[in-house]
Structure 1
Amino acid sequence: MTFTKDFKQQMVPEWEKEYMDYEGLKRILKEMKSSKQSKHNRSLQHRLKLERAFSGIHLQGSNHQREGNIEEEVIEVKTLEEEEGSKELYKTDFHKLHEEGGEAEARLFQKLDEELNKVNAFYKDQVEAANHESNLLSKQVEALVALRVKVKSPDAELKQIVSSPKEAADQNHQQKDSMTGPEVDPVRQTNRNIHHHEEQVEAHNNYKRRDPLEILEHVKVDDSLQSPKSTIKKAFTDSSDNDNELSISKEELKKIEKQLRLVFVEFYQKLLHLKDYSFMNLSAFSKIMKTYEKRTSRAASTAYMTVVDNSYLGSSDEVNFLLEKVESTFIRNFTHSNHKKGRKLLRQKAKTEKQSITFFTGFFCGCFLALLVATILRITSQQFIKKKKGTFYMENIFPLYRAGTELDYRQIFLLTSGLAVVALLCFLINLQIEMNSRSQQYKTLTELVPLILVVLVLLITFCPLNILYRSSRFFFIRCLFRCICAPFFTVRLADFFLADQLTSQFQAFKSVELYICYYGLGEHSRRQKKCHTRGIYNIQYFIVGIIPYWFRLAQCMRQFYEEGDINRAFNSLNYLSTITAMVFRTAFELKKGNSWKVLALVFSALAVLQNTYWDIVKDWGLLQRLSNNPYLRDKLILPHRSIYFIAMVVDIALRISWMQLVFEMDWSPLRKVAIITVTSCLEIIRRGIWNFFRLENEHLNNVGNYRAFKSVPHPFSYYDEEKDKDE
């Protein structure tokens, strides 16, 4: 693998613009390569190599001295300071500007200075932010330790919060052996030891002057840990009454420990990325200078790399110190000083790809296509839909087969293709028995096949055994529960993203009620169509269809309550208009009549306009007139801008297709159920397109703030900090 490919693969995507422009510098080197001066230098270098081969050590030494003299005359790197004096800037004077090809070389060093200043400034800002976050984590750990003592021994006196200086020194000594290696420069190691000593002195002073009892007096648990019960309690009680005393149960303490542990893991990963950022950029500068020296025979590499190594990027040891500090604190407080376990939790390994997943995904996709073709041929060969029993079958049995911590795309395709194969296979078996005159006595029994399929999926979803991606299944269940209890939980990205997916499954929600009526009331045994004649069924038919839209409406209301962002209120109006449209459409579907049809058309058109605007402008961030990319946005991931315009047109077309059921179109020989199925599939396609551009917009917004990692909220907040914020 070339360094260019390795450099790209090691990049943090959100920091891509802040890495050294390695390819831009290589382009300048290629321009230099084609110049006459480069040809002359190559021939000279070849001749020197031949002379060196026949002249022995004496010529090699004199040549090295000659190169040293040349190096002193090639460049001079000056260190400047900004007006504020907070950051150093580097500027290189190139002394061979008037020679042939000197302009390209001068442009190379100018570009090198720009990249060095950019990388140096960004790295320094990130390290300063990491130091600030480290200080906040130290206060979080203090509160956690004090809270542990209070929960376990409420009547006992609190123990010492800060470890004794001797204990801290022992732990630092243990960590130093594991974090340092032969590649560490002695000067840097000395600076690190001095830094350790300063931390021990500060810890000793805090140990003497800080009363542990004062910690909990200024601490409260953050609201992000709240449950529906605590939300309701907070709404009807005065929060000031509970601020004076912190009361936490053991179960709540475990949740706090879990959250703070996650904060440490994410922070540690960020520090590792910062360390890689420094190493990869230093390597890139070294590669460029070696290539320059090779092509021009100007020995300027040592002089420039000395400046790079002495810059903040190359000389700062703050990240290594923070890594040791975080590792030591984490092991002491979360793994009971078990170093092996602590390092394993902090240094998470990347998942290894399994070829079996790819194989079975392809196998299931092939089976699905084969079964789909067989189903279509089976239905059309005997004109099943045109028969009376075919109409009954499509209106009752066919709808029952409508399908519905982190998986990668291969695993998701594996699950969906496997489920599609099972569902279509069951449908084909059911259809074969229905059309076979020899198996008429088994018709009642075969109609239980859809119910068995749904029960099987539910059993797998809620299976407590550690099989079939249990962590991902339970994560889905937790997110679904938070959607159901939307007004009582703080809304996270995973919550509203899942709720948005559910809004595209409104037909599946309606099928749930059909399952209850068809099997619960015994319709399957009598093979009758009487669900829509029951009043309670029709009432529930109204309610079930709007459930997914209520999830998002409630989430928007909660976000508006917490954030005060008016856009959240406008977004809730979009879902309210969709709910209204669904009510009138359902009324038209059940009662018919021109008045219901007009109301359904008007409110459906209004909902389509509002939601289309929100999709394209708000969720996708497109149609910005003052953007660098006309009518798109400033930052785009896809290289071809035409794709974004195509996606907008497709989104509008698929939104409009949602209205076609109101017009009662009849695409013979398909019946209404088939049309609904096609429309539902188009909605799933639209949602898939929406997902891509929605996540792209979210990703680019995060890039703007350089938030390359999860923003995990801290479990504790201090009263003094809140007062400072208010001031």
Structure 2
Amino acid sequence: MKNVSNQQASSSYLKVVKRSHFISSDKVVRLMDDVESIFTKHFANNDRKKTMKFLRPQRQRESHMVTFFVGLFTGCFVSLFSVYAILAHLSGIFRPNSERSYVETVYPIFSVFALLSLHLFMYGCNLFLWKGTRINYNFIFEFQPSTSLKYRDAFLIGTTFMTSVVAAMVIHLLLRASGFSPNHVDAIPGILLLIFIFVLICPFDIFYRPTRYCFIRIIRNIVCSPFYKVLMVDFFMADQLTSQVISLISLYNLIPLMRHMESTTCYFLAGSFKTHRYETCNSGRLYRELAYVISFLPYYWRAMQCARRWFDESDPNHLANMGKYVSAMVAAGARITYARQENNLWLGLVLVTSVFATVYQLYWDFVKDWGLLNSKSKNLWLRDDLILKNKSVYYMSIVSSPSI
């Protein structure tokens, strides 16, 4: 108004605002106090300091340097990936008559790091969409607003992660083509893993230390599920792990994360990068045992979370939810066993357990978790309260969920 009318009205305007009923009314002040007390009692465990962090967060100034480095590392990733593609084509490592050790061992190990960075990128996309739809994910996951990741930060971590992985792949390919000893060259994935572990547990306040330690705490809570109270972020992360096991079972011939984690674990535990006995991580006993362990563990952790929630809340729905993951464990075990013992008995068990687990999971996801398929809802076959205005998103989720 000041710039348009060329009048010095700001001081007069502020005087009127200060005398307004909204500013001077005791009812407004009491209402604010009531909201703070209710939030403190029911959502912050009577911790007023925690309440103030959520209700009156200090808005941090966003730096354009984050956006700059996201673009920088994205460009580096594209350039390095182009170099890697050219080198791979010239060396012929992906040709049918080439040496299979790289494709069957080293390549899956690098793929684990690549898929982890892809997960970080997708998490950044989630943060971007949640912000656009005004979903308070900090409150839902109980993150500290002052230290929680923004979508730009997630993109920065993902692009940095991916650039490091592709750079290691280029170095590995160059050293391999230059005739260096395989004992030294094949240790590069292990060195990369050690670097990432060091960055993850680094005690210095750099590289998003609150987020790194929060991630470590979440993984600890998942691994020790029965012994820690289950929070929203804990079973959200555990659900991500179970979705990767579904990829392992249904898309085994593609590039799911859990399958390559199985190969990577075997690669380091069996010492294949030293002995170069790569058949150990294809058909050896250790590989077969890891297939069962990695397939069962995410479902087991999720089932234990349900058991702990039932113990804390005495809600029988948590036991029913636990049954969903137990049925998935049985189906996963039958599927892996059938892949090694192909006979009619195991085929029948696979069909029965898979159909039962699939129907169980779809019903629970649609009806219990999402609240969809409600014939009495004012939104046809959806729930009454919808966050997204476009109903087609929910219908597409219902149709696409079985195929995913």
1:643 to 372, 377, 393: 393
Aligned to 1:627: 377
Aligned to 2:312: 562
Deviations 1:38-87 (A, max 9, x none): xxxxxxxxxxxxxxxxxxxxxxxxxxxxxxxxxxxxxxxxxxxxxxxxxx
Q: How does 1:213-612 map to 2 (within 5 A)?
A: 263-268=47-52, 348-376=57-85, 378-379=87-88, 384-401=93-110, 402-403=112-113, 404=116, 405-434=147-176, 436=177, 439-506=178-245, 508-509=257-258, 511-531=260-280, 532-593=282-343, 595-612=345-362
Structure 2 stretches lacking a partner, 5+ long: 3-21, 117-146, 246-255
SS at match of 2:58: coil
Q: Post-superposition shift, 1:621?
A: 2.6
Q: Distance in 1 between matches of 2:183 and 2:97?
A: 18
C-alpha distance 461-132 of structure 1, shift in aligned 2 (>3 A): closer
C-alpha distance 364-607 of structure 1, shift in aligned 2 (>3 A): farther
Q: Distance in 1 between matches of 2:373 and 2:34?
A: 37
Q: Distance in 2 between matches of 1:470 and 1:416?
A: 16
C-alpha distance 131-412 of structure 1, shift in aligned 2 (>3 A): closer
Q: Distance in 2 between matches of 1:374 and 1:526?
A: 29
CA RMSD of aligned residues (A): 3.4
Q: Distance in 2 between matches of 1:363 and 1:591?
A: 50
C-alpha distance 264-371 of structure 1, shift in aligned 2 (>3 A): same
The structure showing larger relative contact order (alpha-carbon pairs under 8 Å, at least 6 residues apart) is: 1
The answer to whether the 8 A contact 1:546-1:582 is kept is yes
C-alpha distance 375-122 of structure 1, shift in aligned 2 (>3 A): farther
Q: Distance in 1 between matches of 2:277 and 2:230?
A: 44
Q: Distance in 2 between matches of 1:375 and 1:409?
A: 28
Q: Distance in 1 between matches of 2:99 and 2:373?
A: 48
Q: Distance in 2 between matches of 1:366 and 1:383?
A: 26
1:615 to 365, 369, 389: 365
Deviations 1:614-644 (A, max 9, x none): 3333333322222222122222232322122
One-letter identity of the residue aligned with 2:107: F
One-letter identity of the residue aligned with 2:193: V
The answer to whether the 8 A contact 1:510-1:545 is kept is no
Q: Distance in 1 between matches of 2:203 and 2:53?
A: 30
Normalised by the size of structure 1, how large is the TM-score? 0.42
C-alpha distance 592-399 of structure 1, shift in aligned 2 (>3 A): farther
Q: Post-superposition shift, 1:490?
A: 1.5
One-letter identity of the residue aligned with 2:68: F
C-alpha distance 513-128 of structure 1, shift in aligned 2 (>3 A): closer
Q: Distance in 2 between matches of 1:131 and 1:602?
A: 53
The answer to whether the 8 A contact 1:491-1:558 is kept is yes
Q: Post-superposition shift, 1:357?
A: 0.8
One-letter identity of the residue aligned with 1:398: Y
> Which stretch has the larger CA shift, 351-360 or 384-393?
384-393
Q: Post-superposition shift, 1:566?
A: 2.4
The answer to whether the 8 A contact 1:574-1:610 is kept is yes
SS at match of 1:349: coil
Q: Post-superposition shift, 1:125?
A: 7.0
Q: Distance in 2 between matches of 1:381 and 1:646?
A: 43
Deviations 1:432-481 (A, max 9, x none): 444x3xx2343332111111111111111111111111111111111111
The answer to whether the 8 A contact 1:556-1:568 is kept is yes
C-alpha distance 132-360 of structure 1, shift in aligned 2 (>3 A): closer
Q: Distance in 1 between matches of 2:104 and 2:53?
A: 54
Q: How does 1:113-128 map to 2 (within 5 A)?
A: 128=34
Q: Distance in 2 between matches of 1:620 and 1:548?
A: 21
Q: Distance in 2 between matches of 1:526 and 1:508?
A: 25
C-alpha distance 566-355 of structure 1, shift in aligned 2 (>3 A): same
Aligned to 2:11: none
C-alpha distance 595-485 of structure 1, shift in aligned 2 (>3 A): same
One-letter identity of the residue aligned with 1:414: L
Q: Distance in 2 between matches of 1:610 and 1:122?
A: 49
Q: Post-superposition shift, 1:431?
A: 3.4
Q: Post-superposition shift, 1:567?
A: 2.0
The answer to whether the 8 A contact 2:230-2:305 is kept is yes
C-alpha distance 589-450 of structure 1, shift in aligned 2 (>3 A): farther
The answer to whether the 8 A contact 1:433-1:443 is kept is no
SS at match of 2:389: coil
The answer to whether the 8 A contact 2:324-2:357 is kept is yes
The answer to whether the 8 A contact 2:266-2:286 is kept is no
The answer to whether the 8 A contact 2:226-2:308 is kept is yes
Q: Post-superposition shift, 1:535?
A: 3.0
C-alpha distance 269-465 of structure 1, shift in aligned 2 (>3 A): closer
Identity %: 29
Structure 1 stretches lacking a partner, 5+ long: 3-115, 138-258, 274-346, 655-727
Q: How does 1:2-41 map to 2 (within 5 A)?
A: none
Could you say which structure has the larger radius of gyration? 1
Q: Post-superposition shift, 1:495?
A: 1.4
Q: Post-superposition shift, 1:123?
A: 9.2
Q: Distance in 2 between matches of 1:512 and 1:523?
A: 15
